[in-house]
């Protein structure tokens, strides 16, 4: 109710903007579900199927942790359905719930002494699998963030020193850049510049730049959405 009264919509503009930005470059539903499990298209879908099985199993057992399973399943399914592209860190809210469920699952198996060894081996396998995949992705993410830090902060410092008061800068991926630049920013992605959304939906990236008549442009030339500009 607050969002509707203050912003005019209950859906955050950032969600609408990303849906428009990535609608042509999105991946398939199963791939997005796999990414939301952080394990990629194949392993992630298997893990999601196990999570769904756990939900029904816990419901059958009338175990209260079925609420945790339902919440985790809802987070993964909802974001995979509504977002055309899923990034590695999107899964962060769901992962703690998934790990709680795995712990609960193996603990229940361990109640049967004959299955205790299999449960221990299974839990170790899950930890190693998630750990190995996440370690590789975090290493890649660190390299990417180092690139942003070096280039975007340098650009922000350059513009702080050389732009005039009132100058507008059209920029893309404005996280690092926007934190350090002190002037007016036009977000080509549309997250904080809503008027970009309709242009992104139509693929009219250059037309949007012309419509805002900006003084400076800071974009990565190899981005598909930037090549026309």
DSSP code for 113: G
Digit-coded pLDDT (tens) for 12-36: 888 888 888 887 766 788 888 988 8
Confidence (pLDDT) at 90? 85
Q: What is the pLDDT confidence band of residue 40, given thresholds at 50, 70 and 90?
A: confident
Return the percentage of the chain with pLDDT > 90, whole number.
Answer: 30
Higher per-residue confidence, 173 vs 27: 173
Return the percentage of the chain with pLDDT > 70, whole number.
Answer: 99
And the tokens for 52? 């769904």
Look at 6-10, 75-79, 112-116 and tell me which has the smallest mean pLDDT. 112-116
Confidence (pLDDT) at 11? 82
* 181 has pLDDT over 80: yes
Q: What is the β-pairing status of strands 216-218 and 184-187?
A: unpaired
Confidence (pLDDT) at 224? 79
Q: How far apart are CA 135 and CA 137, in angstroms?
A: 6
Query: What phi and psi values does residue 130 have, to the nearest 5 degrees?
Result: -60, -40
Which one, of 87, 82, 103, lies nearest residue 138 by Cα? 87
Confidence (pLDDT) at 89? 82
Confidence (pLDDT) at 198? 93
Average pLDDT in the chain: 87
Q: What is the DSSP string of 171-200?
A: ESS-HHHHHH--SEEEETTSSS-TTHHHHH
Q: What is the DSSP string of 31-89?
A: HHHHHHTTS-HHHHHHHHHHHHHHHHHHHHHT-TTHHHHHHHHHHHHHHHHH-SS--GG
The alpha carbon of 49 is separated from its chain's Cα centroid by a whole number of angstroms, namely 21
Q: What is the pLDDT confidence band of residue 100, given thresholds at 50, 70 and 90?
A: confident
Q: How far apart are CA 167 and CA 159, in angstroms?
A: 10
Which one, of 112, 102, 117, lies nearest residue 53 by Cα? 102
For residue 112, the cross-strand partners are: none
Confidence (pLDDT) at 177? 93
Digit-coded pLDDT (tens) for 57-71: 888 888 888 899 999
Q: What is the pLDDT confidence band of residue 200, given thresholds at 50, 70 and 90?
A: very high
DSSP code for 112: S
Confidence (pLDDT) at 197? 93
Confidence (pLDDT) at 215? 95
For the beta sheet containing 216-218, the strands, ordered from the edge strand earlier in sequence to the opposite edge, are 184-187, 168-171, 216-218
Digit-coded pLDDT (tens) for 102-150: 888 788 777 777 778 887 888 788 888 888 888 888 888 899 889 888 8
CA dihedral defined by 50, 56, 62, 66, rounded to 10 degrees? 60
And the tokens for 209? 């730049």
Check: CB of residue 218 under 8 Å from CB of residue 168.
no
Check: CB of residue 36 under 8 Å from CB of residue 44.
yes
* 159 has pLDDT over 90: yes
């Amino acid at each position: 109710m607050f969002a509707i009264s203050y912003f005019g919509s209950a859906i955050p503009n950032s969600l609408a903007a990303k849906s428009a930005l990535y609608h042509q470059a999105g991946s398939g539903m199963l791939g997005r579900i796999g990414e939301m499990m952080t394990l990629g298209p194949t392993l992630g879908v298997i893990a999601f199927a196990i999570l769904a099985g756990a939900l029904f199993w816990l419901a059958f057992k009338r175990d209260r942790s079925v609420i945790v399973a339902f919440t985790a399943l809802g987070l993964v399914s909802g974001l995979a359905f509504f977002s055309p592209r899923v990034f590695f860190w999107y899964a962060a809210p769901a992962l703690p719930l998934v790990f709680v469920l795995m712990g609960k699952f193996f603990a229940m198996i361990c109640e049967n002494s004959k299955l205790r060894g299999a449960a221990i081996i299974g839990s170790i396998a899950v930890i190693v699998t998630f750990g190995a995949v996440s370690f590789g992705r975090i290493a890649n993410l660190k390299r990417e963030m180092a690139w942003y830090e070096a280039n975007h902060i340098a650009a922000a410092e350059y513009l702080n020193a050389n732009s005039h008061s009132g100058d507008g800068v059209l920029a893309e991926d404005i996280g690092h850049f926007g934190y350090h630049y002190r002037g007016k920013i036009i977000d080509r992605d549309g997250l904080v510049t809503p008027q970009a959304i309709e242009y992104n939906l139509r693929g009219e990236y250059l037309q949007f730049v012309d419509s805002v008549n900006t003084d400076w442009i800071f974009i990565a030339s190899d981005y598909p959405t930037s090549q026309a500009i």
